[in-house]
Amino acid sequence: MKTLAVSALGIVLALSLTFSLALADENTATNEGNGANSTNTAIAASVDVAVVAQSNTANIGNFVVADANTGGNTANNNTGGNVEVGSGDATTNVTVVNKANLNVADINTCGCQTGTNTAQNTGNGVKSDNLAAAVSVDIAAILQQNTANIGNALITGANTGGNIAKNNTGGTTTVKSGKALTTATAKTKVNKNKATIGPGAV
């Protein structure tokens, strides 16, 4: 019995680039103690930015040839006895697994300090025009891109038999052959993205 098993595994791991920028601070804008009939403006602002960019490219090619042979036995020109010629099973098993391009991004929390902005008008003169503003801007973005080019070529073969028994006398001649079995499997799993943006991301 002859058995040939071939397994090819192609794996390309995701390469990711992560860029995170956070600008956050505690800011206070105050219009205080300004004179009468004055015009005053105070603005407190904070900007928080979280950006994740991931890009993957996978080029995978598999070419597999598997062949199993058994048999080709001969028993010729025997006299005065039984003759038996046999061969075992011929089996080929080929499995190809390709995995590539997995992106996972989670900016549910950036770990940065949350800015607190305060704006107030106090103690200003009569008929003064005062503007106090507190502004917070939060930006979160995830960019994911995958490209995969996969090619699989599987060639399998199994042969059994080809036994020869001839010119035998004085007994029984028996010729047997085993089973010829072949299997080929190709599995491909590529281009999977998972992104999470939740409260507190920025």
Share of the chain above pLDDT 70, in %: 81
- pTM of this prediction? 0.59
Instruction: Flag whether pLDDT at 1 surpasses 60.
Output: no
Locate 58 and state its tokens.
């996978």
Q: Where does the pLDDT of residue 15 fall: very low under 50, low under 70, confident under 90, or very high at 90 and above?
A: very low
Please write the tens of the pLDDT for every residue from 104-156.
888 865 555 555 778 787 777 788 888 888 887 888 888 999 999 999 999 99
